[in-house]
Structure 1
């Protein structure tokens, strides 16, 4: 019995069909690989952003109440903008009394004033040149605590730490406080932090001064926290947020196939 093989036409048709199947299979594998690579890249970016947000959240949580200030890149206050400035608090405690002139300095042009507070633990003892803050409720979103508070002056610089006697620590300050805190709480800080969204990047800068002019991201200073961001800004919503204790951050994470929008809310724990 005769056995027939493939004809040339049949062989060519089979090769063409196999070629078509190989093209579709390679495209399917390529699409799957690209989707996996995009998802993996987005996950790495999200991991970096989560780290940055966790650090920002912890710093804001422990900031001096009322020190949060949203700004534009030029340092002007705003209800929503690319920058957030605040004062990390170095320690806190409760005072017994303040605004008592020091007898040896009464005749001075700027007499020092004594604050007496409950002795803090050794690791939280305030230091010379730190700032004491009492009743830190900002006048409005356009002013810094250094400029004014609702009740008047609420920030005073420590000139001398006199020491501790019978569980009470005495500090000599350069300015009087305008009003008592309801809980007689005092916060201490000596630095400020600035987070800014510049283009597609989130930057952090730090200064050992409370003067807003000293710290900016106009130059190349700062620490890169995250990148590949889009349309980001800090904001406050008076209808949903506590004015002095809460702030939001909204931005997009970009990828080749689209973007993911993140909305993050931060709260100051020590708000009076």
Structure 2
């Protein structure tokens, strides 16, 4: 059973060696708080290096996104749950069953604190109003064109919503991130591996893990993946305020594969405007 070893009271005065193993939400809160502090240090460094392109007021919502961004459901745990609980009756909704036990998976905070040559993370943030659409362009690394290597994209959108305690849906703002088209229509030929497509839209964090290993469609240097962030009202008649949100997108290949994902993303992001906004119909 997962647990933490922590300091504990001793029956002898002055004895500082007593410890116990504990677990629970209080432990998780302490771990999340420590991870949030580490993420803040990284974001603060990025703000200093990039002349405050990350507004101070949006750091907290970016921290929320990044706390979830490194999460991945454990393959062995998924197999164990599948073996024990999957039936012909629940097979079509079994991803939702797994999510009830594993959520988005175990947090791997080290994945969001630094990139590698084979893994690059791009951040975005903003404030969005009801019925607006913000468009993000993620440049495609040319090293992946027509390739058949395994690749993974992780996309996490988090936001702060006003709440309505008198409504069963509770949150007043419903944000949603989606690619233009579907994941399978993208040149990278990706498919969702974690989470049910309905389950990921129920809270104030949308976390998508999509992978592919089949032949990537050929594309030209300069082509991009378009991602849309949309905002709609939920437990309210109208949204009066702009909703702050943070977005993290990671693209990776297996360690050791000679495709410099990080370098190719960095070079192409430096030559374009990061975020565009398109106002939708009201």
Using structure 2 for the length normalisation, give the TM-score. Answer: 0.23
Which structure: greater strand fraction?
1
- Structure number with bigger Rg: 1
Using structure 1 for the length normalisation, give the TM-score. Answer: 0.24
Which structure: greater helix fraction?
2
Task: Choose between structure 1 and 2 for higher RCO, CA contacts under 8 A separated by at least 6 residues.
Answer: 2
